[in-house]
Chains A and B, each alone.
Chain A
Amino acid sequence: MPMDRRTRRDAKNRPKAAVLAGLMMGTLAMSGCGPAQADNTLTWYINPDAGGQAAIAQKCSDESGGSYRIETSLLPSDAASQREQLARRLAAGDSSLDIMSLDPPFIPELAEPGFLAPVPEDVQQSTTENVVEGALAGATWKDELVTVPFWANTQILWYRKSVAEAAGLDMSKPVTWEQIMEAAKSQEKTLGVQGASAESMTVWVNALIESAGGSIIVDPEATADTIELGLDSDAGTAAAEVISTIGKEGLGGPGLPTQDENASLIGFQGDSGSFMVNYPFVWPATSGAVEAGTVDKKVLDDIGWGIFPRMTEDQESAPPLGGINLGVGAESSNPELAYEAIQCIVSVENQAEYFVTNGNPPSNTEAYEDPRIEESFPMAETIRDSLQVAAPRPQTPFYNEVSTGIQQTWAPPAAVDPESTPGSSSDFITSVLRGEQLL
């Protein structure tokens, strides 16, 4: 069939059009924009894990019957970098932030300027039943639920049964910091604590102060100019005494000033291990190491667990609280669908599954009744009990400043002085918040 003029012209222009299309696609690819996605696709910004969140995303997408599809997008590995990326994207009005895995201490900072979409009433009701107190506190800002609790984390006391026995400690009852320090000293072993100038230091300081009945921030809702810190108090001094003693007497070993959770675990698994405060990942990590042949089976059999040590015998401890909550970006184009998906993600069944496969404990107490949990985590009951009494880190929009200020003034542990550190740390953080000093 002969071509008419128009077809001929089209045929002639085709290479040009192809080049143009290619250029446009190239430009789009370079600018990070792709073709518009289907309306029911949700992006879930997840923190790195062992694939559990991606599996839940797939499962919920399948179960939704096509009403939404969740795609996961990986955030950086540490909480501070996750916050940095999310805050920048939220401030820029990125509409791809449909669902976000958020570390609780950073939630007020994102909720305060209205970066998070409000949680609908029905979702609030359906996702908060049977949820542990601490996780709820972490999901709330100014008495309003701004995120949905997903999983909760806490530190418990891990110990080597042989060392505790040799030191004559009765581990069936709660122990105090004084007792474990004495025990480690008498047995010439090292304590597993996190003395690095990092986020883990804030976690430790906060837990010690809360356990002594104090708080790092008196009124978390105060503005930067009026904020009042509770560091320079009896509780702050008591916390400094514990940290200083461990540092000065070498109870944390030579690695203490740079020791984070992973380094503590390695030390605890070694010959000098005695007592350690750390997250539940310790158990799957040690079991895995035994299977891989890098740690002796005897070490695993020798490990016991209990609630975080007390500051005084008669006062219950307030263990560290962590975990992940789910938030929806205010600029998300699909907030309703996002909350529908979140309800699926945080279901009791998924939380239990996530614990068993990834080692991240549920925030919903009902999930602990899953029989698989007891099998994989014999200390699940201790974890649940710990979550019930755990205290969150300061919930303030200025958490990053407070935390970095603590990291810079409470490390290395050997340099902590109970007389002066709480006061100087408090002055430093206050002047940083008032914009008078660099951090």
Chain B
Amino acid sequence: MTSAIPAKTTTASSSDPGPRLDAGNGKTNGRTRRAPQQYSDRVRAERRLGWMLAGPAFVIMLLVTLYPILQAIYESLFRFRLTAPDEREFIGLGNYGVILSDPVWWSDLGTTVLITVITVAVELVLGFALALVMHKALKSVRGLLRTAILVPYGIITVVSAFAWFYAFDISSGYVNNWFGWLPGIDENLNWFAQGPTALFVIMASEIWKTTPFISLLLLAGLAQVPDELSEAAKVDGATWWEQMRKVIIPNMKAAIMVAVLFRALDAFRIFDNVFIMTNGAYNTEVLSLLAYRQSISRLEIGLGSAVSVLLFLCVLLICFVAIKLFKVDLAGTQGEK
């Protein structure tokens, strides 16, 4: 995930002010164009070195990620229970048929998508606000502010899930007492006894935990917008909102898209919060919990693998949609265009 944070020193043009302006061998009105055949010997040598340095890690990553994926695809074609090893039976795509015709899969998919859409949307707004605060903060407090904002992200998800669970739990929690003055909240409100309220707590804890991540990515994007652009806009009489809308946000589109993509993938795979707070009870089950229940709890390796493969395909689909349709430029934020 850290790859999305600008790593200027690794690029050929690290001494240049920013990736938007430095990339490639030329620029036209702030826009860049690709001209790989014009790379100098030095750039080519550095690229080669880059590959040599990153190559082994790339190969190992491929091995450790590809092997389990292929294994899961293979296992998903069997009816196989770990505690009944002799009854293993090849059933082709039978497991997929069972899953896709089961309303549980679709309702879990719905819950997962709901959590993904709401958390990412809220985090984007909050994260942007925090990024602006961090960007504009006085130099003297900037470090402290960034550290403070990052604290939730530093907490292990399981720990934060427990903290939120105990805060909202009807027997040990304090939320009902503190917020009893709000309409709809009283001491008898059992947050985890029905889907909507349980999902609210799950999403709130998710937002609290990962907004710092988004804000950090957006801060990196903000830092890459050259000051001259907004100053020029200011001279032309643009209001703060106009500067945002017409100068800053368009210029950090890549950072925004990367933030959305990364968080969407992360949110889609949500597990810890749901597992700790409700364990999927009362319509709060998500897809990763469904996969866990089949393969780890039931030890139904075949069915569990099939759920995992489908989950993987969903993640691939999100990547595809984000990259192709929204034209996310992963290289853009790395100054390597």
A contacts, CB < 8 Å to B: 80, 84, 87-88, 91, 109-110, 112-113, 115, 196-198, 254-259, 263, 266-267, 397, 400-401, 404, 407-408, 411-412, 435-439
Contact = CB atoms under 8 A, between A and B. Distances in A.
Contact of A258 (B98, B105, B190): B190
Given A84-B297, A438-B98, A438-B303, A113 B83 contact: yes
Interface of B: 79, 82-86, 98-99, 102, 104-105, 169-171, 188-190, 192-194, 279, 281-282, 290, 293-294, 296-299, 303, 307
B84 A438 contact: no
A400 B82 CA distance: 13
Contacts of A397: 83-84
A268 to B, nearest CB: 11
B297 A258 contact: no
Contacts of A197: 279, 281-282
Q: 7 closest Cβ contacts across the A-B interface?
A: A257-B193, A197-B281, A254-B188, A255-B170, A438-B104, A91-B82, A438-B102
Given A435-B303, A437-B102, A438-B104, A412 B86 contact: no
B279 A198 contact: yes
16 contacts: A84-B296, A84-B299, A91-B82, A91-B299, A198-B279, A198-B281, A254-B170, A259-B171, A397-B84, A400-B298, A411-B282, A435-B303, A438-B98, A438-B99, A439-B293, A439-B298
Contact of A404 (B83, B84, B98, B293): B293
B190 A91 contact: no
A257 B171 CA distance: 12
Given A254-B188, A439-B294, A112 B170 contact: no
A367 to B, nearest CB: 33
A109 B290 contact: no
B84 A87 contact: no
Contacts of A91: 82-83, 85, 299
A257 B282 contact: yes
Contacts of A437: 98, 102, 104
Contacts of B84: 112-113, 397
A282 B83 CA distance: 35
A408 B299 CA distance: 18
Contacts of A255: 170-171, 190
Contacts of A254: 170, 188-190, 193
A404 B299 CA distance: 13
A297 B84 CA distance: 52
A435 B307 CA distance: 14
Contacts of B170: 254-255, 258
A266 B83 contact: no
Contacts of A196: 281
Contacts of A412: 193, 282
Given A435-B98, A436-B98, A438-B303, 4 more contacts: A112-B84, A255-B170, A267-B171, A439-B294
A348 B82 CA distance: 36
Contact of A438 (B279, B282, B290): B290
Nearest to B285: A408
A113 B80 CA distance: 13
A267 B172 CA distance: 11
A258 B173 CA distance: 13
A15 to B, nearest CB: 26
Contacts of A115: 83
A179 B169 CA distance: 30
Given A257-B193, A412-B193, A80 B282 contact: no
Most buried by B among A267, A400, A407: A400
A110 B83 contact: yes
Given A84-B297, A87-B299, A258 B169 contact: yes
Contacts of A113: 83-86
Contact of B297 (A80, A263, A436): A80
